[in-house]
Every structure is written in structure tokens, then in C-alpha cells.
Structure 1
Amino acid sequence: MSDTTVATGRRSRWGLFIAPVLLLILALAWTGFWFYAASQAEVAADAWRAQEAKSGRIYDCAKRSIAGFPFRFEVQCSGASVALVSQNASKTPFTAKLDNILVVAQVYDPKRVIAEFSAPATLTDGVTQSTFVVNWSKGRSSVFGLPAVPERASLVFDDPNINRLDGSVQVPLARAKQVELHGRLADGSPADHPVIETVLHVAQGSVQGVHPLLAEPFEADTRAKVTGLSDLTPKPWPQRFREIQAAGGHIEIVQSRIQQGEMIAVAAGTLGLSANGRLDGELQMTVTGLERVIPALGIEKMLEEGVPQATLDRVAPGVKSQDLNNLFGALDRAVPGLGKVIKQNANAGVAAGINSIGTESTLEGKKARSFPLKFVDGAVLLGPIKVGQIPPLY
């Protein structure tokens, strides 16, 4: 055998080892990269927590771990808790505790982060000391654009329900088939004056213990746009609202639709903030099935049983409950039965009042009524009638 043949055989045998050796080197390099990136993820998480804490949002985990090797990062947070220290006008802590949060990011797409939340969550209001229990079958969120300013984010809960704890008894407050909240930076939005577009969808929602109308299932879809922001860095909400008010910012309700049975209501308009931190603005509403809604308000029954002073303060400020009852008594004495007739026709009077301030319209092929819903320094006005009062946002 010639020397040339021996040399060729050696080179061919060495070629058999080149691919495995390169693969081993690549695997070791990838492993080193993954563990380094995982350690940096923990550093980034700690830095984010510290930044949030300065804004009054304190996040903590009883136990935290990172897994997902080799192609993704999975951050597991067991015994998660959130304390909102300065997020409301009263500056009283609001706390939430969750069983578990799983945050996932792909190595090849680190800008997109997905999180899953395990029920239940326990919420405690520091002002009233009330405790609420929130459950859901599936809860998840996604954020795109990290680690810089997020470009878009979503939050979705399936079968959510909220119960208030009354001792050891859970009292139902609200529930839905699904709740979705989506937000994104508007196209062309500048970094120093970002504009946020949001979409809220509620499927088969209901609220108990407030009014029988709200206890009936409803569908809601709202699209809104928020302006007046100076940046998207973490800040307490009262500070954020003050900045929006100072900049002349507003919330534009681009489109809102609520349906409950035969009743359909759509609204659009702009809401701003007064110097007192209360809502100012006007929504133009169009409603079908209003004749079905008014009897459900039970106004004549309320008058028959006596109007609570708290209700009068809301719908007719300055009018005393005793004065109203005395009026009906005087009417009955002057003309027997007159007070009762007025009470029984109260709904018709309210309907006539709304008809007088609105105009006939058509909505989705049905007869409807259009009218303005005004917000004046927190007071909610339907024509000249005050129907509610919204507390200040800061």
C-alpha cells in the first residue's frame, strides 16, 4: 500500500469526527448562551420590579424559577402578589394574591412574552377592607415590543366571576363568558406623545346586587383612543391622570355597543378631565327598546314604597324624601287617588321626558331614540336629569 493511500484513509476517518465535534461545540455554546440569557432575564425582572415599586406597584413571588431549555424561557412565579400603594385618589393600598403565574418567551422571538394566570385571585380593598375572590377557567396575556416600550398587549379571561367575601360566604357580584382587553400604540404615534388605541369586549356579562337590569346577560364592545400621554414609563395612575388633564388629553369613545335582549345601545363621543379630576364631556347615544328598559327601572314601585334620600340625591339633588312623600299625601287629600295615579304613571313621565330631549332615529333596522349623555365635573346628566355621580380619578 502506498503512502498516498494511507494518508487518504486517515483524512477520511478524521472527516467522520468533524460533524459530531462541531455539533458538540454548538450544543455547549447554545447551553452557555441559554443559561446566560436566563440569568439576564432574572436581572431584568428584578430591575423591572424595582422600577414598578417606585411607581407604587409592588410585585413579589413566594417562589420563582426559570426553565424551558433549550428553545424558550419559562418563568414560574408561585404565590404571586401585587400591592398597589398609590394607584388611587385615597392612596390606600389595594392588594391582590394569585396562585401562580407562568411567563413564556421564545429564544428566537424575545420581544413577545406570553403569560398564563392560575385561579383563584384574592383582592383586598384597603379603603373598605372588603375582600373579593376572582375565578376563571383560563387567563392569559401577551405583550409585544419588550424590553422597550410595548407596541401592543392583550389580556383575556374565560369564564371570569367576582364574588365578595361576607364572612365565609361568597356573594356573587359579576360574571361573564369572556372578557378581552386589547391595547396598542396608534400608527404613527410619537414616542413623546403616544396615543393608545384600546378594544374591550365582554361576552354574556352580568352584574349582581346593583340593579335588576344589570343582572340580565349583556354583550359589550367598546373601541377607545387615549391622548395626552407624555410617555409610557411606569407611573402611579393619579399622576398619569394629572398629566393627561394638564396636556388637554382625552378619551375618545370611537364606538361602543351594548346589547341586552331586544335593547341595543350605541355611543360615541369624547371625555376629558376637569381640574378636579372628574369626567367632563359628552356621549351621543342611540338606543332601541327604550320602552322596555324604563318599566324595568321600577320607578312607580320606588315611588309607591317611598324614595330613599340617597336615590333623590343622585337623580334630583336638593329634593328631600319627606317633601316628596308629603307632596303625594297632599295630592291624595285634595283629589283622592291623584297621588297614586301619578306614581303609577311615573314611568310614562320619564319616557316622555327622554323623548322630549332626544330625537327619533333608526338603529340596526329598528326604531330608536338618540340623545346626549353629558358629564359635567363628574355628574352624569340625561338632559336636565342627574342620573349618576362619578368619583374623582385623582
Structure 2
Amino acid sequence: MATDEQTVQRKPSRMRRRMLIMLAVVLVIAVAWSVFWFVAAAYSERLYLQIVDQGIEQDVAFDCVDRRIEGYPFRIELRCGEGTSLTTPDATIELGGLTAVALIYDPWHAITELSAPAVVSEGPFDPTTITWSLAHASVAISDGALERLSISIEQPRAEPSELPPLVADLAEIHLRSDPNSNEAVNVAVRLDGLEPIAAAPKADLMLVATVDGARSLMSGDTASAVRRLLTSEGVPIKLTRVSVKAGQAAVSAAGNLVVRPNGMLDGQLNVAVSGDGASLPYLDELAPSQADTLRNIVTTVLSFGQATQIDGEAARAFPLKISSGRVSAGIIPLGKLPPLPIGLLAVGG
């Protein structure tokens, strides 16, 4: 009997010891995790300051108002209040606020939410106010350079001074380092429900391209990218698809372009157009003679095109040539494109 009583008394004692050991382990883990979080938060603070210093070297200043680092225990959150601004040599963007969030176990991938409005001030021009219902970005960094960037803005509305507002349903831009090249960058741009003119048909735009030599832009070294452009024969751009659809008309193109050091474009595109000259939108905003000329050009070019389709709609396809900015469809000249502002990029870099 004495032995049984000792066994009964011993069992609760062993159980209490196990409970104490488990509590001690949990406490040690909690303390260690807390230390790790605060170390990670301090590292994030130093990384933020390092990025700001690198930006200053590129003549880009970022001012995070009321900066706070929060998110304990599983996230690192950088919060910036109203009045946070980004200043470049040519413009200043002031935000309603910013929150960047990274998981503690994946600090190189951050999700950022921007608070409206954004006020863009550029030189002598009056400020432009931009609002939205939701704006967020995803940023992935690898080996100290930007690996992927995705920005999505729902219901953006830009209100330039003394000009009609520019409204859209959705605006997105995606950049990533090309996995098949050390120097190229894949670019995708989407703009849905754009209203360039009030009471006119909305337009949907899409661009998918690969830009060679743009990897240095991903690392923030704009100056090196521009110098490479200015000292080379040009930067090749492979257009997988660029398309615009508005009302009953749609245009789709694919091909290869080269941006020359002087900003001019060279290359060839395969273009498809659905609809006809009569269905072109926005012509009412032009002078009658200009609108009639554009309709006649489109009708003439389409008459030589081959039958094809754009998203299931009947269309006509034809090759388009660009030489030093001059655009022609076969022997028919269509006009001249202005040079890209490469010089301004060089000054900014």
C-alpha cells in the first residue's frame, strides 16, 4: 500500500516538472524571438537610412514624416505619416502616407500601401493632385538590387491644373529582371477604363515588352543606364504586345524597336487594326480637316492589309516601319515621332 501511495504522489510531481520545463522552453523561445525581432527592427532602420543615403547620392531625397517601425511579433512595418515626400531634381511628390510591411522571415519582400492624395509639383507648373481608392506595391530585392516591382492603383484620378481630370478604373505596372538575361528587364503595363476625354468611349491599354540594358535601372543606378544608352548604338526593345482598344476600334502591335542615343526610334512593327476610319474615337476633338486626313490615312492603309483578328474581332494587319522617328506603312508616310527625352534623363541621373 505504501508503494502505491508513493507512486500516486510521484505522478503529479513529474507532471509539474514537465509543465515547468515546457513553460521555460516557451519563455526562452519568446525572449529569443523578441530579441530577434528588435534586432531585425534595428537592422531595418539602418537599411532604411542606407537606402535614403544612396538616394541622396542619386539626387533623390525621401522624407518619411513621423517614421515608426512596428509590427511585433511577426512583421516589420515602416509607417510614414501625412506629408511624406520624394524629391528628384525635376519634381517633388508629396503623399498622404505610406506603410511598408515585410514578414520577419522574408524581409527582402515588402508590400507597400500608399495613402491618397499624391501632389506632384514639377518646376514652374502648378501642382497636379492624384487620388485613388487603393494603391499598393510589391517589392522584391535580391543581392542588393530590385528583382521585382509591381504597382497597382485602383480608380486613379489625376487633376492637372487648368486641364480636365484624367480618370481610369485600374492602372498597373510590373517590372522584373529577365530570367534569361543578366541585363534585360521585363515590363508589363496595363491601363483599364481610361477616360482621356469626358463622355467619350473608355480606352483599355496594354504593353508587354523586354528592354535590354535596363537592369541597372532596377538597382537604382539611373546614371549608368543613361550613360550606356548614350555611348552605345541604342537600346533594343522587344515588344511582345502593345494594344489600345476604345469603342469599336482596336489597335495591336508587336515587333522590335531600338532607342537611339539621340532619342529617336528605329524598328519594325506588325500592326493590326479592327474597325475602320469611321469608327476611330476622339476625332471630334481635332479640327475637321485633321480628322478627315486621319480617317483617309487609316482607310487607305487598311485597304492594303491582310485579314486577321484582334481578340476575336475581324481586323487588318500590315507592317509598320520606323526610321529615325519617321513612320510609314509601305510607301505611305504616316508622320514623325518626337525623340524620347534621353537628355533629361541624363541630367536627372
Superposition map of 1:83-98 within 5 A: 83-85=87-89, 93-98=90-95
Count of matched residue pairs? 333
Report the alpha carbon displacement of residue 373 of structure 1 after superposing the two structures with TM.
3.9
TM-aligned CA distance change 1:352 to 1:198, over 3 Å: closer
TM-score calculated relative to the size of structure 1:
0.75
1:386 equivalent to 2:335? Answer: yes
How far residue 351 of structure 1 moved from its aligned partner, in angstroms, is: 4.3
Which of residues 253, 259, 269 is equivalent to 1:267?
A: 253
Change (3 A) 1:381 1:100: farther
Residue 184 (structure 1) shift: 1.6
Distance 2:214 2:293 in 1: 45
Match of 2:108 among 107, 111, 115: 111
Correspondence for 2:226 among 238, 241, 249? 241
Question: Are the equivalent residues in 2 in contact too, given 1:294–1:351 (CA < 8 A)?
Answer: no
- Cα contact 1:278–1:392 (8 A) shared by 2: no
**CA pair 59-8 structure 1, distance change in 2 beyond 3 A:** same
Alignment of 1:95-244 (within 5 A): 95-126=92-123, 128-146=124-142, 148-166=144-162, 171-190=163-182, 194-208=183-197, 215-229=200-214, 231=216, 232-236=218-222, 239-244=224-229
User: Residue 363 of structure 1 corresponds to which residue in structure 2?
Assistant: 309
Contact 1:299/1:346 (CA < 8 Å) preserved in 2? Answer: no
**Distance of aligned partners of 1:346 and 1:36 in 2 relative to their CA distance in 1, 3 Å threshold:** closer
The CA deviation at 1:271 is 1.9
CA distance 1:9–1:381, change in 2 (3 Å): same
- Separation in structure 2 between the aligned mates of residue 101 and residue 296 of structure 1, nearest angstrom: 37
- How far does residue 391 in structure 1 lie from its aligned partner after superposition? 4.1
- 1:189-214 CA deviation, whole Å, 9 max, x = no partner? 33xxx2211211111112249xx9xx
TM-aligned CA deviation for residue 131 of structure 1: 1.4
Q: 1:82 to 1:381 in 2, by over 3 A?
A: farther
Query: Matches of 1:241 and 1:253 in 2, distance apart?
Result: 20
The amino acid across from 1:259 in the alignment is K
The structure number with the bigger radius of gyration is 1
SS in 2 for 1:75: strand
Taking the aligned partners of 2:211 and 2:47, their CA distance within structure 1 comes to: 29
Structure 1: 5+ residue stretches without partners: 86-92, 308-343
Is 1:32 aligned to residue 35 of structure 2? Answer: yes
Identity %: 27
What's the CA shift for 1:76? 0.1
Letter in 2 for 1:371: F
Q: What is the CA deviation profile of residues 80-106 of structure 1, one whole-angstrom value per residue up to 9, with x for unaligned ones?
A: 101122xxxxxxx21100010000011
Q: Superposition RMSD on alpha carbons, in Å?
A: 3.0
SS state at 2:67 partner: strand
- Contact 1:242 / 1:277 at 8 angstroms: preserved in 2? no
Q: Which moved more, 1:252-261 or 1:143-152?
A: 143-152
The residue identity in structure 2 corresponding to 1:151 is E
Deviations 1:97-145 (A, max 9, x none): 001000001112222210000000000111x423100010000010223
Pick from 65, 70, 78: which aligns with 1:75? 78
After the TM superposition, which residues 50-61 of structure 1 pair with which residues of structure 2 at under 5 Å, given as runs? 50-61=53-64
1:120 and 1:19, CA in 2 relative to 1: closer, same or farther beyond 3 A? same
Q: 1:188 to 1:300 in 2, by over 3 A?
A: closer
TM-score when scaled to structure 2?
0.84
CA gap 1:299/1:183 in 2 versus in 1, 3 angstroms: closer
The residue correspondences of 1:328-347 to structure 2 (distance < 5 A) are: 346=293
Q: Deviations over 1:342-392 (max 9, x none)?
A: xx9756643454347x42322245443333444443455564231542443
In structure 2, what is the Cα distance between the partners aligned to 1:374 and 1:32? Answer: 63
